[in-house]
């Protein structure tokens, strides 16, 4: 109680949810309580661990001293005090009461429910023998056995005391195999499917390293897992119709993370050593990326509150939501994309087990974050038992608490003074000593270790959001409702119960300083199973008959549901907003890009991670069908067709999110060119990039704009974003186009040269305009822009053929040419020139063509300059082939590639 400087403050103005009311503030050892003057309003109780940020603001013009509180349930409220001293005392008291140094200081060890819950037995809700016995271990199949190798937590300190492993593997083999897995977390059973004996096992990453280490014991263990269905007594003798045995090793990480861990001595499996299995990477980012994504969502919501407060001249929390939440900023946070990736990975596991009748081994780095998410979500879809209230509680106890998710580190229960900020006064009344003290504190905070903050991440929160997505997609398949999930997340951070206070089962059983939570703290499941809570958390639309596996209804699914990774929305009830604010009136797919999925990997040479560690002296056989796409190195397609479909689907989403760029249309470029005009007439050009195919590029250019974007890569983004530059130079282009008007009224020759003379008259000296004695130029070229003149900044290929020379626009990007090309071009334009503008670059001179020989521009070099070759006829032909645009060019000419 020494931390409480002031226990009660009268006449405090509390602003929350757009309303402000006066009342009294009370500070206790574990709660901040605000009691309204209106006795009909319910008191506001805020547990200190639930507070995420406190801001002490300068005094207002009315002489009030405000404090703004932000909670981990995305709520914001402000307290305004009449005295500055009261605000400072409350700020310091809440700071000392919130920042804890030991788990034993948390509220769970002081909370005693009054009256006691009418439900008991929550601490013994999950029994490994009962739960795995329900799945069929020891009864339906003899392929699995229980082992007490970790009964004293010496084998693996972060694993449960009782494990289920294949019967063929002895404890001695497990000890050897544990040395090959990070944190000794060997593959262990977490789910046995009721329909076909498919299994989900989980582990940590193997210690492969750069030297490509291997463990025969680990390989035998994984092989026994993948062959466990052969031991099933009730297994059909023949193959299951429509099922293919495709055992999977699911690496939840992106390939880049696996490469980084390989350099640290860990890595991923070498599939040459694991037979009858394939491996996939799911591309789910690590805990730091998830933390930053949620922080961006929180920033958007706080910005909306601040803007609403600034409009009304009030404090955050007091103002009505006058400003709509920036939904584009919410999507840019990437939060929904991460949830979609997790849902897609869970769907892959569900399909492989239920449809393919196969086994899945799931792991990430240490096997307690992304592995828990994927394993629990897949079981939620496969087994209707886990969609009941009791089954869901067992699922959390088994896959999250027992298998060692680090709740203490990930939730940040031991908060930091970093979350308490006092903003300086802006009136200039503070003394120099106060400024020096503030500077000293800031320096100390900079050098103070904040390593525990780097371990925080909303992993369990993300799992609950995924469950909410499933709940919304299948509203009649869950016994619990949305409130149950929201209450569970609330008590995750409130520290009112002892279930989620430790990092593993060993810490929870032994406790800290001899204080065990099962003896001193209340259990959260007793709270949820009490009568009052059950009534509020029941889902009225729940229909258990839909999960009957013996149903022969045409719409029956045997109780297995499949996540839709595209139908993802923000959980607006959790964030305290409306559906329209968070997701908009018209619900569209919030995730434009698909996850970083790789096709199944069954050998070392197909693996983008382990293949980089092969010594350079050992040549690898060519495998062009499995070469990673250059535009997305993380995708390793199994064949070119699937690769194009996978990448194009992601790029179409990005294309659709870009704004449409208006283009200048004229009557000359409305009609599409004929196929003959797009056919190359000269020799094949050099590909614009290694591995590109000119024929494939030619086919793609006539496709959908999304396909065009797929072929041009990032350069199409430049074309989209250069509309402002195009508009800025429109005046110069119009002025240059006016020169051509002087030649349109002149007489034109007849025959084949008529069009050619008109097409190049703009570039001839005035003395030669209308001269029919000299051979004319017949020029065919494909346009790079829409309009009557060349736009050097528009790199989106148009399908209209207009007639220009490569140097028709003096404002185009200067390109280097070979000496031979430069001399030929100079001779080509030799003669009397048009008046030159001294402010721009001079065009090259025109070639004298009085002799009987001509030149044919039939090819194109690597830098885009045409090749000139001598031809027998007396005409000069400029033909630009239909070539895929090079991704090495600089569209704006600013020097950035």
Residues annotated in a binding site for substrate: 261-264, 364-370
Pairing of strands 65-71, 76-81: antiparallel
Chain centroid to Cα 664, Å, comes to: 37
Half-sphere exposure of 363 (CA within 13 A, CB side): 27
Query: Whole-angstrom Cα distance, residue 172 to residue 237?
Result: 32
Quick check: 31 and 20 in contact, CB under 8 A?
no
Nearest to 810 by CA among 859, 856, 763: 763
CA 151-154-159 angle, 5° bins: 65
Residues making up the chain, counted from first to last: 897
- Which token pair is 685? 């050009």
- The residues carrying an active-site annotation are 364
User: What element of type H or E holds 35?
Assistant: strand 31-36
Quick check: 590 and 583 in contact, CB under 8 A?
yes
Q: Helix, strand, or coil here: 714?
A: coil
Query: Whole-angstrom Cα distance, residue 335 to residue 337?
Result: 5
Which residue, chain included where needed, has tokens 């795995």?
132
Query: Whole-angstrom Cα distance, residue 674 to residue 679?
Result: 9
DSSP character at residue 503 = S
CA 403-409-410 angle, 5° bins: 80
Q: Helix 287-312 vs helix 335-354: angle between axes, to the nearest 10 degrees?
A: 140
User: What element of type H or E holds 865?
Assistant: none
Extract the annotated binding site: 261-264, 364-370
Nearest to 828 by CA among 838, 840, 820, 839: 820
Quick check: 146 and 128 in contact, CB under 8 A?
yes
Pairing of strands 8-16, 19-27: antiparallel
Nearest to 663 by CA among 780, 781, 759, 791: 791
Provide the strand spans (E) within 669-819.
Answer: 777-780
Contact residues for 809 (Cβ-Cβ < 8 A; gap 6+): 733, 736, 789, 790, 791, 792
Provide the strand spans (E) within 298-455.
Answer: 360-363, 420-422
Pairing of strands 199-202, 360-363: parallel
DSSP character at residue 399 = I
């Amino acid at each position: 109680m020494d931390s409480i400087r002031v226990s009660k403050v009268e006449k405090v103005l509390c602003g929350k949810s757009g309303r402000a009311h006066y009342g009294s503030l009370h500070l206790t050892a574990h709660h901040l309580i605000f009691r309204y003057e209106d006795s009909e309003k319910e008191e506001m109780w805020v547990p200190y661990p639930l507070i995420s940020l406190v801001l002490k603001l300068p005094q207002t013009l009315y002489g009030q001293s405000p404090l703004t509180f932000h909670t981990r349930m995305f709520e914001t409220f402000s307290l305004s005090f009449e005295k500055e001293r009261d605000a400072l005392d409350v700020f310091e008291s809440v700071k000392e009461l919130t920042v804890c140094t030991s788990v034993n200081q948390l509220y769970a060890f002081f909370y005693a429910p009054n009256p006691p819950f009418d439900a008991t037995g929550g601490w013994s809700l999950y029994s490994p023998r009962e739960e795995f016995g329900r799945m069929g271990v020891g009864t339906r199949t003899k392929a699995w056995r229980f082992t007490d190798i970790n009964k004293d937590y010496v084998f693996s300190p972060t694993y449960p005391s009782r494990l289920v492993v294949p019967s063929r593997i002895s404890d001695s083999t497990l000890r050897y195999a544990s040395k090959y897995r990070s944190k000794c977390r060997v593959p262990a059973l977490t789910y046995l499917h009721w329909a076909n004996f498919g299994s989900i096992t989980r582990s940590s990453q193997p210690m492969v390293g750069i030297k490509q280490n291997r463990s025969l014991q680990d390989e035998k263990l994984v092989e026994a897992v993948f062959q466990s269905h052969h031991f099933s007594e009730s297994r059909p003798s023949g193959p299951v119709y429509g099922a293919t045995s495709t055992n999977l090793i699911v690496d939840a990480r992106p390939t880049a993370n696996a490469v980084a861990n390989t350099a640290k001595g860990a890595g991923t499996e070498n599939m040459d050593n694991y037979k009858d299995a394939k491996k996939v990477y799911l591309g789910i980012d690590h805990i730091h990326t998830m933390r930053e994504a949620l922080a961006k969502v929180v920033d958007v919501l706080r910005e909306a509150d601040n803007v609403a407060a600034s409009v009304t001249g009030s404090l955050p929390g007091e103002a009505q939501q006058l400003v709509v939440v920036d939904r584009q900023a919410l999507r840019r946070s990437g939060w929904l994309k991460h949830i979609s990736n997790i849902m897609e990975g869970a769907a892959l596991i569900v399909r492989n087990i239920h449809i393919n009748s196969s086994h899945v081994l799931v792991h990430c780095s240490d096997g307690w974050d992304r592995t828990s998410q994927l394993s629990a979500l897949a079981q939620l879809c496969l087994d209707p038992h886990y969609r009941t209230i009791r089954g869901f509680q067992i699922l959390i106890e088994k896959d999250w608490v027992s298998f060692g998710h680090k709740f203490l580190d990930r939730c940040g229960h031991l908060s930091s003074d970093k979350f308490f900020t006092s903003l300086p006064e802006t009136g200039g009344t503070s003394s120099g000593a106060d400024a020096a003290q503030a500077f000293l504190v800031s320096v100390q905070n900079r050098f103070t270790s904040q390593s525990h903050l780097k371990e925080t991440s909303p992993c369990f929160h993300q799992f609950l959001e995924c469950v909410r997505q499933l709940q919304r997609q299948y509203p009649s398949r869950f016994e619990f409702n949305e409130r149950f999930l929201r209450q569970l997340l609330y008590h995750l951070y409130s520290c009112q119960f002892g279930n989620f206070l430790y990092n593993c089962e060993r810490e929870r059983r032994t406790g800290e300083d001899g204080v065990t939570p099962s003896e001193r703290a209340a259990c959260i499941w007793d709270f949820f199973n009490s009568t009052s809570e059950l009534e509020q958390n029941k889902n009225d639309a729940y229909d258990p008959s839909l999960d009957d596996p013996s149903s022969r209804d045409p719409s029956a699914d045997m109780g297995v549901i499949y996540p839709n990774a595209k139908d993802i929305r923000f959980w607006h009830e959790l964030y305290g907003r409306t559906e329209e604010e968070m997701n908009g009136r018209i619900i569209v797919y919030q995730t434009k890009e698909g996850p970083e999925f790789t096709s199944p990997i069954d050998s070392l040479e197909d693996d983008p991670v382990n293949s980089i560690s092969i010594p350079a002296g050992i040549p690898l056989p060519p495998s062009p069908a499995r070469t990673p796409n250059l535009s997305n190195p993380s995708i390793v397609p199994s064949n070119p067709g699937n690769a194009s479909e996978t990448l194009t689907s992601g790029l179409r989403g990005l294309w659709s999110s870009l704004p449409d760029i208006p283009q200048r249309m004229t009557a000359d470029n409305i009609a599409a060119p004929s196929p003959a005009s797009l056919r190359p007439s000269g020799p094949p050009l050099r590909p614009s990039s290694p591995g590109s195919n000119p024929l494939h590029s030619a086919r793609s250019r006539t496709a959908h704009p999304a396909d065009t974007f797929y072929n041009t890569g990032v350069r199409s983004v430049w074309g989209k974003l250069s509309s402002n530059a195009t508009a800025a130079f429109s005046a110069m282009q119009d002025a240059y186009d006016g020169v051509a008007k002087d030649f349109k009224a002149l007489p034109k020759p007849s025959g084949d040269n008529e069009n050619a003379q008109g097409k190049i008259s703009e570039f001839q000296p005035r003395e030669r305009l209308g001269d029919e004695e000299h051979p004319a130029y017949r020029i065919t070229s494909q346009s790079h822009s829409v309009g009557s003149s060349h736009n050097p900044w528009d790199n989106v290929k148009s399908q209209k053929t207009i007639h220009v020379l490569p140097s028709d626009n003096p404002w185009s990007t200067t390109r280097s040419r070979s000496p031979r090309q430069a001399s030929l071009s100079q001779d080509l334009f030799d003669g009397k020139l048009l008046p030159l503008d001294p402010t721009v670059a001079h065009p090259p001179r025109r070639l004298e063509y009085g002799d009987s020989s001509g030149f044919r521009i039939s090819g194109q070099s690597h830098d885009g300059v045409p090749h000139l070759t001598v031809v027998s006829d007396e005409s000069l032909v400029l033909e630009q082939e239909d070539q895929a645009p090079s991704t090495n060019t600089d569209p704006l000419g600013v020097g950035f590639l």
